Every structure is written in C-alpha cells, then in structure tokens.
A and B are shown apart, each in its own frame.
Chain A
C-alpha cells in the first residue's frame, strides 16, 4: 500500500514540479525580458484560441491520468483482501480499543504479524475519530452508528505511530497509539499470552444469553431468518430491494431491525439499541460471520458481491 501511494505521490511531485517550473520560468523570463524601457511600448495581443485550447486540454489530460491512478490506488486501499485477519476497533474519547478475532484485547496498541493482511472493522462510541497510520499510508474515519473498514499489510517489523486525525475534543492530540509489527513467530508467542477465547465464541455466548437463538434457528422453522451462511450473501427484502449482508447490514439489523425486513418474515424483532455495547455488537457480528465460514455455507458466499449495499450503508466493502 505504502509503495503505491508513494509512487503516485512522486509522480505528482514530478508533474506538478514541471508545471510549476514552466510557469515560473515563463513569468521570470517575461518579467525580465519585457521590463519597462522608455520608448518601447507594450505590444497588444488579443489572445489566441489555439493556445487557450492547448492549455485547457493538455492539463485536463494530465489531470485525468492523475485521477485514474489515484482512483486505482484508492480502490485497492478500500478493498480488503478476502482472507484478511480481522480486528474490531472501537474508538472513544480518547482511546482506541482493539479486539482481535482470536479474542485478544488491546488498548492504544495493535500487535500484528508481518506480511498478513489485516482488516479493521471500526466504529465509534461517541464522536467521529479517524484511524491513521502514516507509515502504512492508510486513514479512515471512524464514525458512530456504523462500521467503516480499512486494511493494511505491514511489511517490516517495528513500532509505528497510530494517530487520531479527526478532531474529537479536548484530548484529541492524546488519542495516539502504536501499531507493533512482529515476526510471525514472535506474534504467535504474543497471541498465546491468554485471551478469553475467539471473538466469535464470545459472540456465540451473547447470542445465547440474549435469546437470539429462539427465533434465529439453524433450520427454516424460526420466526427470524436462518443465519447460517448469511454473511456476504445478497438478501431479498420485503420491499423488493436486494442488500448485501455485510457488517453494516448485520449491525443495523440488530440495532434497528425494522429498517430492513427479509422477504417472508414479519417485523417482530425488538431493537437491541442500548442493550448491547459496541464491543458486544462486534462480537455478535463476528459470530454471525463465523456461521458462514465453517458451516455448510452455500457456494454463493464465496462469490458474493464485494460491493456495498445500495441504500443507506455508505460503507465501502
């Protein structure tokens, strides 16, 4: 990622450097060559359509190259590879809470192994924050009320700055941390240092405690949809829309179940707004996702559309 961003940055430096040089040289040359001399009047020139077209079209062409290149880099940066390791991030004034899919919890520090794709599924408990690791050239706002996603692959062990870059109140400049990139062996050692079990297992426990399984049964007899193999699949809604079952869809269906009713079901589910914390919500989402990985997930789940749901989910991925 970092390499791609830097390559485009350097290209931009060269292109804009050349443009600047061109304009500055012209200005300096004209200013010196045509300085006021007694008896030498200015020569009046109306303008020139060919010249106007030239300096409209050429810059536009150059801009389009930059645009396309920038779009490609952005697209890569917004699209986590399918088999990424997942980390749930909950931001709050003024700290980062991070929870690995394997269950390790951290505050203001994120340990990751070298060479692994890491997908961050992020939300905020209060105001908007922004997750920024300059060394990885990634930044994504962390917005309350929805998930946003970022990903990176660290290539060199070391400790890197993690900044909040969206002003979030008094201690904004104290909302910093670090990403510790470790060799795989070290990372394994670090991981074995105890955890409460995988996040999806925590989610399963919550799922049971909240009585979700009463309706969301693993057969077709439940009052709610069967969640086996749901994640990543398109879902047909009662009002005719199709949405993709991504993290934001799961989140919304837990907090505001009435907003997207699956075809063939009744809007009978109560809201869990205020009953589950952001961390528990993350665990529930992780659990529902795990039902698509192990169980007899349909062949569709692997090929499901990677793009975001059309409606309100402004979410990438």
Chain B
C-alpha cells in the first residue's frame, strides 16, 4: 500500500506498521478492516455498475436486441442484489463507520475487533457465493425474490443467491452489534451522548435497524430456500402457503434497509455541512433524535410496498399514514441542514459540493416518496419507472453522494494523502448532472405508464426518447464514478502528504495524525467541548487539543 515518500508520512501509522498480505488478512485494526471493505465493496460496485450499464444499453432501443430477455432479467436482478446487499448496505457503515467511529468517540478500536474481522470474512464468503452464483448461470427472480415465482417456477440459481445474501446478512448484523456496543461502552471521558458527532448518532440508529431487521430477511430467505428445495408449503398457494406473507416478511427488512443506506449518508453530510459552513449544526438534538425516529418509524411502514398487492383497504390506510409519519423526521433534517448554512462561512471544497448534491437529490427523492405514499397515486405509479426513479434518487442520489462526499472528506485521514481538488470538484459536477439526466426522465416514463423490469418495449415506441436521455445520462454518470477511483488511486502514490487536520475540522478523528497510528491516540483523549465547536477552532481560542500523536 502507501509507499512513504515524504518525511511526514514516515511517521509510524496503521498503514506502515506492518507489511505483507498476512498483516492485512489477519488484522483486527478497525482502520485496516475498513480498507478491506473499501476494496471489496468497490469491486462489487463496479460489477453492479457494469450490469446497470448493460441494462441502460438494452433499453436504448425498444426491441430486446442487445441481450436475450432472460439475460436482461438476470441483469436487473443481480444489479439490484449486488448494489443493495454487497455495496449500499455495507458502504458507509463498513468503510467510513468502521474507520471513524472508534476515532470519533476517542477509542482505540471497536469493542470487538475480532468480530469485526469475522464480519468482513462473512461478507467475503457471501460475496464469493454471489459471484459463484453469477458465474454458474445467475438468477432472474428480481432482487425481491417474489414468490411463488422464485420458489416454484424459476430454473435459475435462486437458492445460491438467497444463501449468499443470508451469509452476507450476518456481516451486517455483527457490524451493527459492534457499533452499538462501541458507542455505549467505549466513549472517551467527557464524550457524552450529546457531544457525539451526528455521524455517530446516525450509525447508532443504523445499527439498531441492522440488528433488528436483518435476521428477518435472513429467515425469509431460508424459508424461500426451504420451499424451493423441500417443497414445504409456506408461500406458494398450491402448497397451502400465502404469497403475501412473503411480501410482508421481505419488506419488513427491506424497507428499513433503505434507512440502513440513507442514515449513514445523512450522518456524513451533517459532518461536511458543519465543517464547510464553519458552524455548529442547527438543532443538534433534533437532528440526532430524527435519526432515531427514522429508525423506529422505518419499521412500521413496510406494507407501503404492497398497496396494490391485495392487502385490505384498512391496512393500506394505516401504512400510508405511517409512511407520512416517517417523512417528517427526514424533512426536519433537511430544514436543519439548510438552517445551518444561514450566517455560516461557506467553503466550496469537493466534499461540500457532494453534500449540496446530496441535499438536492435527497430532497427530490424524499418528496417523490410523498407521491408513492399517497394511496390513490400509488395505484397508478406503483411498479413503474416512477418508483425506479424515486428510490434511485434516495439510494444513489442520496446514499451514494454521501458516500462519495465522505470519501473525499476523510480521504486525507484514511490515506494520508490529498486528492486533487480540481478533479474532485469536476467529478462532483459530472455525477450530479449525469445522475439527473439518467433518473429524472424516469419519473416521466413512470407517470406515462412504463412498467419496470421490461426487457422489451417495442409495442410502446413512444417511451424511447426518454429512455435515450436516461442512457445518455448513465454514460455521463459512469464517467463521474470512474474519475474518483482514478484520482484516489493516483493520490496514494503521487498525492501531496496530508496534514493532520486539512479542513480545520472539529471532531476527535482530526486531532490524531494522518494516517492515524494503530491505536488511534497516543493517550486517551479527554473531551471538554461540544461537537462542532467551530467558533473556538476558528478564533484560535482553543488550540486544537493535546492528543496529537
């Protein structure tokens, strides 16, 4: 990894303390495990992205001409499975959360370093199973595994895919467990709950969902496997089962899973906005509590995926009402971020551009959620491209923008190198433009009635023009994603050495060296200040504390 090129980096740190493959594969250092995750999720991101590219190319023309219909069905299925279970869910928690939570709370490591390594191995075992599933024929059940299609009708690798996700799920559960215990037990003296960075609060909320939700989807997938291989009648009505039961169980996890993806991203954006406005976060406690509220309400809205599935009118009414309830804390966050900008001293570095991008795209994604929770409108736009556009605005526009913003913000800390700022700003702009060009036309397509998961729309040539826009946008977006990977790699060798606190940011992670030493702090930090004490930092009244290594 990082070759020392300047005296500054030659200080002993977690990267150069040990060398060799073994020192990485057997490490229990949360920072090294974060990097292991970074490599692995980047691998899966590009697989999922490649599938997305093929999907968009197929949809460039109405006829099914680039790939066979079955292949197309596998592409969207595995695009979803890879992106959701092997990229988005681990992305921020397993990389940035893993790296930063111990630093932010002032601890030497997570509470259970070996379990942390175990969860990476579980992720890798699940990932290898998923790749094996793809290489031996793939699966075309849709990432949602709807029954009885998946259990009784398909001849593809449903069992393999289900078990791969089952195994990877345990990785997520263990990471959540580790975070919760760490946040409860490992905070440095003086680091009270209300002094925690909001990034930590967001991860606390995320971990609750991971622990409570993931086992449900794991069990559900086991039931799918059981029905498929042993013909136990659970979901298929021909065997005496109930297909809607599956949907209830599946969405009981998979809706909260959206919050596993977006909450950490909200945490990242909160840190970035505070730093680049040089301000305290407006309404700290409201932002913290809204994360918890989202985690709690997020468990009560699953059946809004089922308004036209055949549930009763009254069930639909309740789930619609609760869906609006979960929209409120998200709105509260957006208003608080906006208010934080007020009377700030705003810098436009690349992380902040990503945060602005997040704000814009998340707002659109969130507000279009109001359309889908409105029962009458959902009857029309459900399972059309409107839904595709909506959740990509949240999960790609929101979660992924936050992830990229966070990678830029903490890259100097992680790698000890500065990334090229000009390129990074350009990439942020390209991603923003490419994203909107890809997904905005899909809202219109959905309203016009184009169903999702259609390989062939040759009977509806009127949909082509918007699909052409979308494919063009996806190409731009692809460039926007490749750029950061290139310049991050470039900066590891050629980047300028990073100072310990390049942004003059608050937070304990900036008060140790870049990159940190294996045990993060030379002596245990004692916290005497509130989070986001930018006034003190900028006035220079308070020298950035004493824990420098």
Given A139-B379, A141-B308, do A34 and B342 touch, yes or no (CB 8 Å)? yes
CB atoms of B331 and A20 under 8 A apart: no
Whether a CB of chain A sits under 8 angstroms from the CB of B112 is no
User: Are B328 and A51 touching (Cβ within 8 A)?
Assistant: no
What string of 1s and 0s marks CB contacts (under 8 Å) between A96-135 and chain B?
0000000000000000000000000000001110101011
Q: Could you list 16 examples of A-B contacts with CB < 8 Å?
A: A4-B376, A12-B377, A31-B346, A42-B278, A42-B535, A45-B343, A56-B332, A63-B370, A74-B313, A74-B375, A74-B376, A132-B451, A143-B244, A145-B237, A146-B237, A176-B459
**Residues of B close to A31: CB separation below 8 A:** 341, 346, 356
- How big is the B interface, by class? 35 or more
Contact between chains at B534 and A144 (CB < 8 Å): no
Q: Which residue of A lies closest to B277 (CB)?
A: A42
A171 adjacent to B374 (CB under 8 Å)? no
Determine the residue in chain B with the shortest Cβ distance to A19: B367
A27 & B449 in contact (Cβ 8 Å cutoff): no
Closest 3 CB pairs of A and B: A134-B449, A73-B376, A145-B237
Q: Is A268 an interface residue (CB 8 A)?
A: no
Interchain CA distance A64-B324 in the complex, whole Å: 7
Chain B residues, CB < 8 A from A190: none
Contact among A12, A20, A37 for B364, CB-based, below 8 A: A20
- Asked if residues A63 and B149 are in contact (CB atoms below 8 Å), the reply is no
Chain A positions within 8 Å of B236 at CB level: 144
Task: Mark each residue of chain B from 232 to 269: 1 if its CB lies under 8 Å from any CB of chain A, else 0.
Answer: 00001110001110000000000000000000000000
The number of chain A residues touching the other chain, given as a range, is 35 or more
| Contact A41 to B148, CB < 8 A, known contacts A128-B243, A141-B310 | no
| A36-78 interface bits toward B, Cβ cutoff 8 Å, 1 = contact, 0 = none | 1100111111111001100110011001101101111111111
Whether B452 lies near A165 (C-beta < 8 A) is yes
Q: Which residues of A contact B317 (CB under 8 A)?
A: 71, 74
Q: Which of A195-203, A295-303, A308-316 contacts B (4 or more CB under 8 A)?
A: A308-316
Contacts of A73 in B (CB 8 A): 374-377, 379
Query: How far in angstroms is the closest Cβ of chain B from A195?
Result: 28
Question: For residue B339, which residue of chain A has the nearest CB?
Answer: A51
Residues of B with C-beta under 8 A to A24: 360, 363
With A and B bound together, what is the CA distance between A148 and B373 in angstroms? 21
Kindly state whether residue A169 has any CB partner on chain B within 8 Å: yes
Partner pick for A59 among B144, B321, B327, CB 8 A cutoff: B327
| A34-B277, A67-B320, A314-B311 as given contacts; A163 in contact with B449, CB under 8 Å | yes
Task: Kindly state the separation between the CA atoms of A164 and B146 in the bound complex, as whole angstroms.
Answer: 15
Q: Is there contact, CB below 8 Å, between B371 and A12?
A: yes
Smallest Cβ-Cβ distance to B324: which chain A residue: A63
Please provide the chain B residues from 430 to 464 with a CB less than 8 Å away from any CB of chain A in the complex: 447-449, 451-457, 459-460
CB of B503 within 8 Å of the partner chain:
no
Least distance between A22 CB and chain B CB atoms (Å): 9
Chain A residues positioned under 8 Å from B534 (CB to CB):
42, 44
Least CB distance from B100 to A in Å reads: 24
Q: A27-B356, A34-B342 are known contacts. Are A44 and B280 too (CB-CB below 8 A)? A: yes
CB atoms of B149 and A167 under 8 A apart: yes
**Closest residue on chain B to residue A60 by CB atoms:** B328
**Given the complex, which residues of A lie within 8 Å of B360, measured CB to CB?**
24, 27
Query: Which B residues touch A63, using CB under 8 A?
Result: 324, 327-328, 370
Cβ of B546 within 8 Å of any chain A Cβ, yes or no, is no
Q: Is the CB of B356 within 8 A of A37?
A: no
- Whether the Cβ atoms of B374 and A165 lie closer than 8 Å is no
| A305 interfacial by beta-carbon distance below 8 Å | no
Q: In the complex the two chains form, what is the Cα distance from A12 to B373 in whole Å?
A: 11
CB atoms of B279 and A45 under 8 A apart: yes
Q: How far is the CA of A36 from the CA of B370 in the complex (A)?
A: 36
Cα–Cα, bound, A60→B454 (Å): 36
A23 contacts B by Cβ under 8 Å: yes
Asked whether B368 is an interface residue with its Cβ less than 8 Å from the other chain, the reply is yes
Given contacts A30-B346, A139-B380, A145-B237, contact A66 B324 (CB under 8 A): yes
Indicate whether B521 reaches chain A with its CB closer than 8 angstroms. no
Most buried by B among A34, A60, A138, A148: A34
Given contact pairs A16-B367, A30-B344, A167-B149, a sample of 9 additional A-B residue pairs in the complex whose CB atoms are under 8 Å apart: A27-B338, A41-B538, A42-B534, A78-B313, A128-B148, A132-B451, A138-B380, A167-B453, A170-B69
Asked if A9 is at the interface of the complex by the 8 Å CB criterion, the answer is: yes
Cα of A55 to Cα of B282 in the assembled complex, Å: 13
A266, CB-defined interface residue at 8 Å: no
Does B332 contact A172, Cβ atoms closer than 8 Å?
Answer: no
In the complex, A257→B536 CA distance in Å? 77
Asked if A206 CB lies within 8 Å of chain B CBs, one says no
Q: Within the complex, which residue of B336, B345, B348, B371 is in contact with A9, where a contact is CB–CB below 8 Å?
A: B371
Chain A, 1-30, contact with B by CB distance < 8 Å: what is the 0/1 string? 000110011001001100110011011001
Contact of B379 among A36, A138, A148, A170 (CB under 8 A): A138
Could you tell me the distance between the alpha carbons of A316 and B447 in the complex, rounded to whole angstroms?
25
CA distance A314 to B311 in the complex (A): 5
Give CA–CA (A146, B148) in the complex, Å. Answer: 13
Chain A neighbourhood of B328, CB < 8 A: 56, 59-60, 63
Q: Does residue B37 face the partner (Cβ distance < 8 Å to A)?
A: no
Nearest Cβ on chain B to A163's Cβ, whole angstroms: 5
- Enumerate chain B residues within 8 angstroms of A138, measured Cβ to Cβ: 379-380
CB contacts under 8 Å to A, within B300-333, are 307-313, 315-317, 320-321, 324-325, 327-328, 331-332
* Nearest B residue (CB) for A307: B313
B360-415: which residues lie under 8 A (CB-CB) from chain A? 360, 363-364, 367-368, 370-371, 373-380, 382-384
Q: Is the CB of A171 within 8 A of B69?
A: yes
Q: Verify A37–B345 contact, CB threshold 8 A.
A: yes
* B13 interface hit (Cβ, 8 Å): no
